[in-house]
Amino acid sequence: EAASLLAGLALVALDADGTLSLDAEVLALAPELDIRNRWSERPVRIADVLSHRAGFGPLRYRDLFAGEAPPALLAGVNAAWRSLETITPPGERQHFSLLSIALAAYLVEKAAGMPYKDVIDRLVFRPLGIEIQSPAAAFPATAFDEAIALPLTAGQLLRIGRLLANRGEYDG
């Protein structure tokens, strides 16, 4: 899943440069998120979101697809309010969710102070010489397009894989 990989790379890079801590509470960085956690003694942390262990329930189909045009990333995440309620204690179980990917992308955006795609472009794509085309118009507009609709070719994914295999060095 390329979207999860890219959001993870960006969060780890922001953690490495001191912009944020993966151990930080999500609501401390972004109190505007509509997260409802019934386990107040165990807050949702950025690392939980990144590992799909935030405790969120399943994303409902009706929350995924936007009406006319996709909303901004924050509005898209908060529109999935039914899925922002924890159903298990954060950190306890892994539940893959597109919501976690969109939430991770929003946290990148919030911490970096610039749009998510600009952060990914600066941290990953430009250094690797990758140019991204706009998502195909044939795909339905979702509330999370900004985080998940990054059409990458196999060659581009191989460049990113090479970066990971060489521990952050593309030619190393």
Helix (H, G, I), strand (E, B) or coil at 17: coil
Q: Note if the pTM is more than 0.85.
A: no
Q: CB-based burial of residue 172 (10 Å sphere; 0-12 exposed, 13-18 middle, 19+ buried)? A: exposed
pLDDT in tens, 4-37: 888 888 898 899 899 999 999 999 999 999 899 9
Digit-coded pLDDT (tens) for 58-81:
776 656 555 555 557 777 777 766
Question: Quick one: tokens of 71?
Answer: 């909303």
Comparing CA positions, the residue from 124, 159, 161, 99 lying closest to residue 13 is: 124
| Alpha-carbon span 7 to 108, nearest angstrom | 7
What pLDDT sits at residue 7?
A: 86
Q: Which amino acid is at 139?
A: F
Give me 90's structure tokens. 């954060």
Q: What are the pLDDT digits (tens) for 132-169? A: 665 444 344 454 555 556 667 777 777 777 777 776 66
